[in-house]
Amino acid sequence: MSILVTGGRGAVARGLRALLDAHGVPCRLGSRERDTPDAVHCDLTDPSTFPDALAGVRSVFLYAEASGVDAFVKEAVDVGVEHVVLLSSSSVLAPDAADSPLSASHLAVEQALSASPLRTTLLRPGSFASNAQGWAWSVKSGRPVHLPYPGAYCDPVHEADLAEAAFAVLTDPALAGRAYTLTGPQSLTFATQLAILGDVLGRPIPFEAVSAEQWKSEVDGYIPGPYADALLDFWASSDGLPVEITDSVERLTGRPARTFETWVEDHADAFAA
């Protein structure tokens, strides 16, 4: 059994590749970047790269890129792929998922896979703990982090937990063919996350509440306008409302999900002054 792991430069893909290698499971890393070490060229927006990437593959860990998904599914079926594990998003569960930039691509890929004969496992994480790296510049410069909704809750999940969950469903057939909503172990506000970050780093991390309009103007050029609007709407909907936490990580991996504090400890260098 050979496994193709797409998104070769992503933290989840790298963690999954390491787990597969450590357990002696044959695998192939796929990346759209041609200079990715030990990787086959696999650009999910370019169907011409699919045949070489999928040759001899029986299972795929797939990132959610909608533009080439129909061609990817066709090639996967043609070469005999049996199982696809999709890194999707819990945002697909929202009523307006098809119209939201946060979820539309994930939903389109889910639908394409569901309409195919491929056995599909859906991993639907909520908020990545790594989103906190967006605060790194402010933290390193000593400037307050600007938050339009300091009281908005999220469910930060460690990328290592996502990699371990993917490893579990790829290597245990009894776990495959289902949808799993994956969260961290705590529902935390952005303000609380910054407090935890400060505790781990040993210095206070100030923040400043700003208007949605100010925040959007500050990220202009970094975050496309429609995506920024979708984020603001999402944060507004969770302002003061804790997020529901699941035990899916523990059920798949056999141990509790890593805390946000653990994630900060693992990535403290990213915030070093």
Domains of the chain: 3-125 (3.40.50.720), 126-158+184-243+256-273 (3.40.50.720)
* Distance of alpha carbon 163 from the chain centroid: 10
CA–CA gap between residue 215 and residue 153 (Å, rounded): 18
pLDDT tens, position by position, 232-267: 999 999 999 999 999 999 999 999 999 999 999 999
List C-alpha distances in Å: 251 to 39, 131, 185, 261: 31, 24, 13, 21
The predicted structure's pLDDT at residue 140:
94
Task: Work out the average pLDDT over 59-63.
Answer: 98
pLDDT tens across 2-12, in order? 999 999 999 99
The predicted pLDDT at position 152 comes to: 98
Residue 104's Cβ-side half-sphere holds a number of Cα atoms within 13 Å equal to: 8
Q: What is the mean pLDDT of the chain?
A: 96
pLDDT at 1: 57
How do residues 153-208 score in pLDDT, each as one tens digit?
999 999 999 999 999 999 999 999 999 999 999 999 999 999 999 999 999 999 99
> Do residues 67 and 42 make contact, with C-beta atoms less than 8 angstroms apart?
no
In angstroms, rounded to a whole number, what is the distance separating the alpha carbons of residues 252 and 247? 9
Residue 49 pLDDT > 80:
yes
Calpha distance 91→80 (Å, rounded): 30
Separation between Cα atoms, residue 102 and residue 242, nearest integer Å: 20
d(CA 242, CA 42): 39
Lowest mean pLDDT among 37-41, 43-47, 56-60, 206-210: 37-41
pLDDT band at residue 35, thresholds of 50, 70 and 90? confident
pLDDT at 129: 98
Q: How far apart are CA 76 and CA 257, in angstroms?
A: 32
Helices (H), 186-224: 190-201, 212-219
Whole-number pLDDT of residue 37: 83
pLDDT, position 143: 94
Cβ contact 208:147 at 8 Å: yes
Q: pLDDT class for 272, splitting at 50, 70, 90?
A: confident
State residue 32's pLDDT score.
93
| pLDDT for residue 38 | 86
**Closest alpha carbon to 131 in 164, 171, 89, 100:** 89
